[in-house]
Amino acid sequence: MTDDPKPRPATLAAQALGWIDETTRAVVAPIHPATTFVRDADNRYPTGRIYIRDDNPTYDQVETLLATLDGGMAALLFSSGMAAAATVFQALSPGDHVVAPKVMYWVLRRWLQEFAVRWGLQVDFVATDDLTAFKAALRPGQTKLVWIETPANPLWTITDIAAAAELTHSAGARLAVDGTVATPVLTRPIEHGADIVMHAATKYLNGHSDVLAGALVAARTDDMWERIRAIRRDGGAVLGSFEAWLLLRGMRTLFLRVRQSCATAQALARHFHGHAKLAQVLYPGLPDHPGHEVAARQMQGGFGGMLSLRLRDGEAAAVKVAAEVKIFKRATSLGGVESLIEHRASIEGPGTAVPGDLLRLSVGIEEPEDLVADLEQALASL
């Protein structure tokens, strides 16, 4: 007699942990739109639920699934990725020192520069892929949080999570990792020593460009996690019930979508590497990418569905190529089933560190040959 096999993560995601609605025996979770819950005659709440801002039953399956996939103890849903990220910093105290990457999601970087410092946080931006610079930026006893993003948008810089965790913890700080691009399919940062993982769930976790959501996953439920939970509750950065239901629906195909996107992105990177009209292809799956060896060690099963192309003839050429595509959609965001392209410097505007010759690609689940042909015809217009 053998023990029951333990399902792999892809199976857990596909079946949403295998939960069945006890009332109807339905295989799809119900949506709970109620905002408040009834007390018993003794003035107590028999289910422990009081108000939807405190606790939403539609969250239960989503948060449990995400915590399971990321290897964490708990997860929390938020109204957006930015709400999730901001809450982590809001859980700190005035005077705390924070280290963040030079290459990161530009909206969060701007938020740190414009808002976090007003609350008394001290923020240093460093090249987190450079461990010497990383270590030098830490202030033992004062640094309370290190934030890294890997692969980092839009240059797809790779930071060694295990090394970053060791350095961070030696300074007495916590390590938070933006896992949006890698997803739990490719990287589980908690296994490499991270304390908190953030997901812009709008992107790959949902995967259909129809939900705005964010999430945090904790390696342990300590005092900081409880502060984060309280800030979500009292600040009201909560997700709607229907959006939570849609997010769960999207997560059931997460592994299929991410694996297809990774395979296609790798194919595009190989095809266009060395192209006569391109100065550079930025993709961690290419052997000449500076972070390839680290990525190969901490990303299992693929290098992500994001890549960037730098045009040999500069910014005007990049803008023209984006204008000439037929299948790629000229739109912001990433992680959906449709492939997107954008001239990133134009999106970020004045002060951006993104090269003007760069096009950012989010690779969907279309046929690889069609995407290659689309980019080739656009490049031929130059």
Kindly indicate the confidence band of residue 1, based on its pLDDT and cuts at 50, 70 and 90.
very low
Which pLDDT score, from 0 to 100, does residue 3 have? 67
CATH of residue 356's domain is 3.90.1150.10
Which of 251, 282, 316 is the endpoint of a domain?
251
105, 188, 232, 357: the catalytic one is 105
Which pLDDT score, from 0 to 100, does residue 37 have? 86
Strands (E), the chain: 74-78, 97-101, 122-126, 143-149, 174-178, 196-199, 214-218, 278-282, 306-311, 329-330, 340-343, 358-362
> Closest by alpha carbon to 356, among 341, 366, 342, 346?
346
CATH of residue 88's domain is 3.40.640.10
> Closest by alpha carbon to 150, among 304, 376, 281?
304
127 shares a domain with 64: yes
b/e 21-57 (16+ beta carbons within 10 angstroms → b): eeeeeeeebebbeeeebeeeeeeeeeeebeebeebbb
Q: What is the pLDDT of residues 343-366, one digit of tens each?
A: 999 999 888 889 999 999 999 999
Does any domain span residue 160?
A: yes
Which structural domain, as residue segments, surrounds residue 311?
254-380
49, 53, 252, 320: the catalytic one is 53
Q: What is the pLDDT of residues 323-335, one digit of tens each?
A: 999 999 999 999 9
Which of 231, 251, 271 is the endpoint of a domain?
251
235 shares a domain with 275: no
Q: Is residue 283 flagged as an active site residue?
A: no
111 shares a domain with 13: yes
Q: What is the pLDDT of residues 52-70, one digit of tens each?
A: 888 899 999 999 999 999 9
3 state SS of 48 = coil
Does any domain span residue 359?
A: yes
Q: Is the model's pLDDT at 4 over the cut of 90?
A: no
3 state SS of 79 = coil
354 shares a domain with 267: yes
18 shares a domain with 152: yes
Does any domain span residue 141?
A: yes
Q: Is the model's pLDDT at 5 over the cut of 80?
A: no
Q: What is the pLDDT of residues 126-137, one digit of tens each?
A: 999 999 999 999
Kindly indicate the confidence band of residue 2, based on its pLDDT and cuts at 50, 70 and 90.
low
Q: What is the pLDDT of residues 56-111, one digit of tens each?
A: 999 999 999 999 999 999 999 999 999 999 999 999 999 999 999 999 999 999 99
Q: CB of 62 within 8 A of CB of 247?
A: yes
In percent, the amount of the chain with pLDDT more than 70 equals 99
Q: Is residue 59 flagged as an active site residue?
A: no
345 shares a domain with 240: no
Does any domain span residue 238?
A: yes
Does any domain span residue 4?
A: no
70, 96, 178, 195: the catalytic one is 178
124 shares a domain with 259: no
223 shares a domain with 203: yes
Question: What average pLDDT score do residues 232-243 get?
Answer: 95
Does any domain span residue 274?
A: yes
Which of 193, 226, 251 is the endpoint of a domain?
251
Does any domain span residue 2?
A: no
CA distance 36 to 374: 51
203, 257, 344, 360: the catalytic one is 203
Q: What is the pLDDT of residues 266-318, one digit of tens each?
A: 999 999 999 999 999 999 999 999 999 999 999 999 999 999 999 999 999 99
221 shares a domain with 324: no
Q: CB of 42 within 8 A of CB of 68?
A: no
Does any domain span residue 1?
A: no
Q: Is residue 329 flagged as an active site residue?
A: no
Work out the mean pLDDT of the chain and round it to a whole number: 95
CA distance 177 to 189: 7
Torsion of CA 144, 96, 351, 286, to 10 degrees: 0
84 shares a domain with 201: yes
Which helix (H) or strand (E) segment holds residue 267: the answer is helix 254-272
67 shares a domain with 199: yes
Q: CB of 180 within 8 A of CB of 203?
A: yes
297 shares a domain with 246: no
Q: What is the pLDDT of residues 211-224, one digit of tens each?
A: 999 999 999 999 99
Q: How many domains does the chain have?
A: 2
